[in-house]
Amino acid sequence: MNAPTLSRCGSLIFTLCVVAVLLSCSSKTEAPPETTKKSETRAQEPGVTQDTKESSPASDPNGIRSGKASPSGTEALFADWREKLDKGILGVRAEIDTKVNEFEAAGNDSSQVFADLLDLCVIAAWRHGAVNDPNTLAQAERALKLQTKLNGSGTLETYQSLYSLGVIYAEQGKYPLALPYFERAHACKINAGVSQGEIAHSIHAIANIHYLTGDIPQALEQYDKALEMLIQTYGDEHQRVAKTMGSLGNVYSNLGALEIADRLVRRSLEILQKTVPEDKGTLIAYTLVDLAELLAKQGKEIEAAEVIRQAISIMNESGPEDHPHISMEYNDLAVIYHDRLDFKQATQNYEMSISLREDIGSNPTSFGVLLNLANLKVDQGNWEKAFEEYAFIRSALKREVGEDHPLSQIANVNEAMAYMLHGDLETAVSDAIEAETRMRANARQFAGAFSSAQALNYERLRPSGLDPVLSATKLSTEDDPTS
């Protein structure tokens, strides 16, 4: 029997990497039916173009409304910022923050334009990975309060603020807090009488949260509902149809129904390859990553690695080389080589992933690759370096997300496994019990921690005779008070 190894955290298996999941459903809104009083900003990827039928643009689920009375210069500036954010040019966040400060200094902090600017500021922070910055949450709440004051609650104008708050809580792993915001955002669309396609988009977002909390039956039901509505609205070969089909494939993949998942993901890829322009191929790249996951699960690691390289190539052509998703895919590539015990290739790709991230060690989504690299040191027998890196990771996570966050407990469990492999069973048991205790104590706040912990594969402790730890730490649905 091979010696037990530490599990890897990549976007292939790292269920807490919420950014990719939520962004996969963040397609741009379209104009509502002619019977409604408001038109929506129609955003083609990337960028914004104005619906010419009416003069009052409304929000788009991933961006900024131009504002009812915004000067044309402001509209153009917002559109430029949106385009840059869609392309992954994260430096634009500083420009947006500066404009917010200018509005506040001039006392123009109660207008519709300022409310829209706050929404955009939150989106920039979200794209930059600053979801744990208290200022980001404060700005999102301020935007919602101002939009509600200016336009009323449950209106399309409040949609973006509600959606952003949902994303912030979801990326923090606080899925029970996120769900009501996505449901309220969904209600805004219902109230506004938008198209069935638009309603399907918000259903998709709700399905994502059910999936992340481990409520697979609800997730499947909502994805199926969204997919049916999208096909009825757009036909069976449309980008939105492909996105939801791909998400449904991911659910079946995680259920182990690989044949069904394979059909859905490949069909999604086929549709996107027909409908997505060559210079805007990131959607194709993300779906290639989903396909790579399936191939890896089927034991086709070499083919999976080649598919990830294709995805990276498309991302490089479609956006800046420092786009955060490119870093994630180098991590996924490293995971494949790591599992094949090709430590040289694994190290090179982990280090490439790290080199492409300015926010390494501060953005919660960046800790997966750091943890993987520490685990690689364990597999190489470089214990001193491994424990040094675990200490850094745990300290940084404590600072960024707190000791109770599932990410911190994932780090605890990995360190426990490392101590076990090193022969220090006392410390291993202590770390594992601490992780179990914190996960249970915070189950309601961090629903989804249980499935994430299970993804770390506690059963790998069995060969070393740690069944008592398993009985204390292996998590079951029956023990989850949120289920």
Q: What is the pairing mode between strands 57-58 and 39-40?
A: parallel
**Tell me, what amino acid is at 21?**
V
- Cα distances (Å, whole numbers) of residue 17 to 219, 367, 407, 451, 452: 17, 10, 10, 13, 10
Residues ≥6 apart with Cβ < 8 Å to 301: 295, 336, 339, 340
Q: What is the pLDDT along the chain (483 residues), one digit of tens a residue?
A: 333 334 455 433 333 332 233 333 333 333 322 222 222 222 222 222 222 222 222 233 333 333 333 444 677 788 888 878 776 676 788 888 888 888 888 887 888 888 888 888 888 887 776 777 788 889 899 999 999 999 999 898 899 899 999 988 887 778 888 999 999 999 999 999 988 888 998 999 999 999 888 888 899 999 999 999 999 999 999 999 999 999 999 889 888 899 999 999 999 999 999 998 876 778 899 899 999 999 999 999 999 999 999 999 988 887 655 466 788 889 999 999 998 899 999 999 999 988 887 666 666 667 888 899 999 999 999 999 999 999 999 888 888 778 877 778 888 888 888 888 888 888 888 888 887 787 777 655 554 444 433 333 333 222 222 222 222 222 233 333 233
Q: State pTM to two decimals.
A: 0.67
Domains of the chain and any CATH numbers: 368-483 (1.25.40)
DSSP 459: G
CA nearest to 329, candidates 374, 369, 295:
369
